[in-house]
Structure 1
């Protein structure tokens, strides 16, 4: 077949839009039977590989630190051949997450997966670094000087390396030096621990009436364990106004985060910073997914699921690179009383753009992407495989030429200000998703189903 059109018995499990094979960019589509590489512009199939024909998949990294997956393919007739998939760099570490998801799907379909630890977190190298000796992956620079060996055996070896005449004159020097070193180590350990010679071996029958000077008492280290506490049922995201109708999903974290959320065959990728809010077009379903911090800070990240404007589940973590797993059953979507109609120049949901901006009304029909930032920004909007590069400043509204499908994209602040960059998605003059960041040079990524 020339175009990918699987039947109802072959659902699509995952799509990876940014894959390079032999220097050409493709979209990888994984179903429950095979992996298909299609041309991004035309949708025509380049490779169609059954999972049963893949004998092994080995993950790795190329010379500019991009994650790779090498497939060994053994077709029914013919010799074994290989195919390398390169997961090109995406902000927020999305390419690292994508290769792990691809490897998990292959492993779930009986493909042997060999995962090799690679320096993904270092980010991609630029072309100058890739061509500079000593900067290529796997090439080390100058090695560090060896750490001197200060142990007892080192002392004994150094004693044996004395000139022959010295060792003949002092035959017992090695034994004496060894004994002195052992006694010195024991004495130093007793002094550091603050104990006398009779306290090296604790005894339960020792007389406890001896006075113990408080200034030499060894400090007590208290180890505490935290028992997970069930989250409260009434929660709302910090600094955010949530629309009162339907089921919503929000993430709040000052740094970058990535993840996925899915329910009833619907799935969306998450990659943003600051506040991320999206409506889930499902009800009476199990919402599953995970969201992970992309940095090593101890700041709190909070994930909330809401129905009718009321929080029904909340998860949080302060662990560096921490991950929040989501598995939340939801019932019928609640439609609450709508709030009072806002003024034409106001935005219905927070966070709001900078107060210095003039916000015109959104057109009444169609799908629109609004970008609001007082400085300069650049970005890309992608719908049904078609990309559109944009740049501007202030408030700009971009119409999307579709009625049903996925709208996704990425915007970046081109300056170091802490002002808020807000991206909002409207359908028929109704806000359905938003994302924002106030970080200098911050990035906003979004993806939603309309």
Structure 2
């Protein structure tokens, strides 16, 4: 396994044993970013090569001095362009904020990564203002999915560059956000792992908001253990995953909503995965989950994302609407029609939804569903606004259910090696983050066996 494809644990072991150095890891990532045949130019909106090398050298000196830095000190990671990094402009994938003042301080999530010794190598591309699940950016280009790259398939979004930076070895972990699937969708489309924690788990300070009610901050990485390691840093909660066996676990597979419009590839991968779990001793219960079917009605007027983004963008749109991606601004403008009463009613409806969903999930260890019911489409399929809207809603549909019920969820690969990447979503109620990670780790091991 080359260093560009290793897990955080294996890289940590290599650093501790002297088999590599932080400088070597950073130089390797920078080489991948600069590769003429690669996706570096569209994956990163800014690369801090000098700063990353300085930080790498500092971590190497600490190890040489037997100072025992963090186990992950010196490992390069990428940061979504939604987060403040001291001295840099936070553009959120837009042209609107080109002239904004550089951030005076790191976002809390970035500061915690630095404190753990991770090296921030650069800022990654994204859907403008995080308002889409497809990852297309007309301003800075769209990084292409590593699967079937010759046919130009999308990366998923909104954390598009985050996923491609890890998939292509330009970073060894990525900081992203997830408001309706923005970590899990690109992970599913690219064969990675994406974790959406309970929203309150990681402070949002210093992250430009899409929806303050739904935004979650989480990682994209190469394994469940990698995501757990990053989550422990981001949440400032040290923990160790308990090794579990899938035997005896009870899983709910919803019959409501989540299989509508599923394609043959995802359906086959999901059924094969469920059979393996059942054969290994897990109990699979397929049953209706009517609360999931209520979400479209609850969000019919635009939901939290439209209302809360409109509040942030209103003044900018009045002055500079022409600088926005038309497909993004049209979604933000839905919030213009929402009233205070609409938002209050939405809050009541969501709380009722959460209570009903948590009661329904209480008899199970986790809920299982396809992360996205389709494989990554080709860019050419999204040329018309009608198809863009249809596919975007389809990509977001399953993951956003977990944001609406304030739960925790993870997407892990469930496809066979060499085939189109597909994701299995493992979800549970709010506060069950460690349980989700432990169950995902057990399923990951089963599928790899």
Structure 1 length-normalised TM? 0.24
Task: Identify which of structures 1 and 2 has the higher relative contact order when contacts are C-alpha pairs closer than 8 Å and 6+ apart.
Answer: 2
Q: Which has the higher strand share?
A: 1
Greater Rg, structure 1 or structure 2? 1
